[in-house]
A and B are shown apart, each in its own frame.
Chain A
Amino acid sequence: MDNKLTSYEKVQLARSADRPGIMDYIRSLFNHFMEMHGDRLYRDDPAIVGGIAMFHEIPVTIIGHRKGKNTKENIRCNFGMASPEGYRKARRLMEQAEKFDRPVITFIDTPGAYPGIEAESNGQSNAIAENLAYMSRIKVPTIAIITGEGSSGGALAIAVSDRVWMLENAVYSILSPEGYASILWKDAKKAPEASDLMKLTAQELKEFGLIDGILPEGKKLMPAMDQMLQKELNELVKRKKNSLVAARYQKFRKIDGLYQ
């Protein structure tokens, strides 16, 4: 893949049903994956996958959005739009990861948190906010990979991590380009123009220093991801817990676009 694509072509590529999904990454890079279910409060949200697995020699916790591979799965997974129950399941599994000293690897691919009556009634804002707060202080290494669409608070809710990587054709944004266009110009059809203004491609975000690195796609993807995870984990697991948390705090604390 080259980088001559327009921003909106990247958005479409990031959404493509042909891209690998979380279960593909799990199958390719991890062993003995065991999915865990439910938030212990209300229900299990299939839009978020969570579980434990071996990565080379070490146990890790894996969490990520699941869109599903066919129409039936898409509907069951709500197209990767998680509900509060999904974010609370994610937090429950992260708390366990901290207790058992396992690194947390998250895979982000969502059009956004689900905007529905039940999701709102059950505290979508609260669920996302609590995750941001908890991820900022969890005392184990955390690595987030934006594999497709990383849209809005629904993406960030599992991406406040020590390292944030993106696939070369993934996008990461405040909102979907359609939502952005409809807020700014009351016209969702202007999504292509919005995509350019939003600076949502991996290359632009790396330039801003908002992400740590970019992974190539195609045949190189899985080996590159495997290598990246090994390298980052090797480095992060050596850190003292307090300095890990302090560095993560600073990583997000120092993000500003202020007038100097």
Chain B
Amino acid sequence: MSISDVFTEKRKNWNVLLNLRKSSSADTCECPGCHQNIETEQLRESMWICPGCHYYLPMPARDRIAALGDDNSFRELYAGVRPSNPLDFPGYEKKLADNRKKTGSYDAFVCGTIKIGNQKVSVGVLDGRFLMGSMGTAVGEKIARLTEHATKRKRPLIIFSASGGARMQEGLFSLMQMAKTAAAIERFKKSGGLFISYLTNPTTGGVSASYASLGDIILAEPDALICFAGPRVIEQTIGQTLPEGFQHAEFLLEHGMIDRIVERREMRKTVYHILMMHQ
């Protein structure tokens, strides 16, 4: 099978997969770029790129996985992992329940195995719609398990990040997930595994400062905000406005922090080619 076949085949199935989940979301979305209302269905077909202004809307985790893998190749792992409320934080259970309803997942990380051009790959996606994609103990645990799974099976690992950082409601437990995920990724890399870290809008704080910055190869989507401290925090600290484009993917590329910026439509092809050169 050639790569172009993989792509045409892909499209058809994609719609089927996505239709299954249509009932769980609203029928239209407002584009943050041009403020037009676009039908969800149309957005799914266009990989959540606004047909009007080409703004990259956040891509739901399962749509991302469907777009990356061969047809029907996704096998989800650790779907039942979910946090308790370790700090007894008021209202946290309700917040989790609301976000579960919204996304159809127990927490912000969806992961498992897929095939890309018939090669088995471990994949995980942080869903930015679930509590801003923040990393608490469930996200940290799933990343660690997925990474250990990939280490054992000697599979390449791809993680897509979109996150506001460590999850506030789980306090220091969340901070410790930075150490846990970084340690698991480090072991994986030392065992010879290929880790592709794929940064999407936004990747910040405790996620940016842990596993997400440790890719053998770091890819990013155009214009994605990628930073440790957010622009607002920096402006408040130094008391000046920030230069245009500061902390966006293009800025990071220029400063040597990432390898490549990849258009969303080129995602599957790019990953496929990287995998091909690491077999």
Contacts and interface: CB of A to CB of B under 8 A. Distances in A.
Task: Note whether A and B form a binding pair.
Answer: yes
Interface of A: 113, 115-117, 119-126, 128-130, 132-137, 152-153, 156-157, 160, 172-175, 179-180, 183-184, 197-200, 205, 208, 210, 249, 252-253, 255-260
Given A137-B190, A199-B172, A258-B82, A156 B178 contact: yes
Given A175-B168, A184-B168, A255-B173, 4 more contacts: A174-B174, A198-B87, A199-B87, A249-B183
Contacts of B212: 125, 129
Interface of B: 81-87, 89-90, 136-138, 140-141, 144, 166, 168, 170-180, 182-187, 190, 205-206, 208-214, 226-229, 233-234, 237-238, 242-243, 246-247, 251, 255-257
Given A120-B246, A258-B82, A258-B84, A205 B209 contact: no
B233 A133 contact: no
B234 A116 contact: yes
Contact of B173 (A123, A126, A136, A257): A257
A160 B255 contact: no
Contact of B228 (A120, A210, A253, A260): A120
A211 to B, nearest CB: 9
Contacts of B171: 173-174, 197-200
Given A133-B186, A174-B171, A197-B87, A125 B176 contact: no
Contact of A132 (B172, B210, B255): B210
Contacts of A198: 87, 171-172
Given A120-B228, A156-B175, A198-B171, A253 B180 contact: yes
Contact of B178 (A116, A123, A153): A153
A152 B175 contact: yes
A184 B89 CA distance: 12
Contacts of A173: 171-172, 175
27 contacts: A113-B228, A115-B228, A116-B234, A124-B228, A124-B229, A125-B228, A129-B182, A130-B214, A132-B182, A133-B183, A136-B187, A172-B172, A174-B168, A174-B171, A197-B90, A199-B171, A205-B172, A208-B86, A208-B172, A208-B173, A210-B172, A210-B173, A210-B176, A257-B84, A257-B87, A258-B84, A260-B84
Given A173-B172, A198-B87, A153 B228 contact: yes
A129 B213 contact: yes
Given A153-B175, A256-B173, A260-B84, A117 B242 contact: yes
Contact of A117 (B205, B211, B226, B234): B234
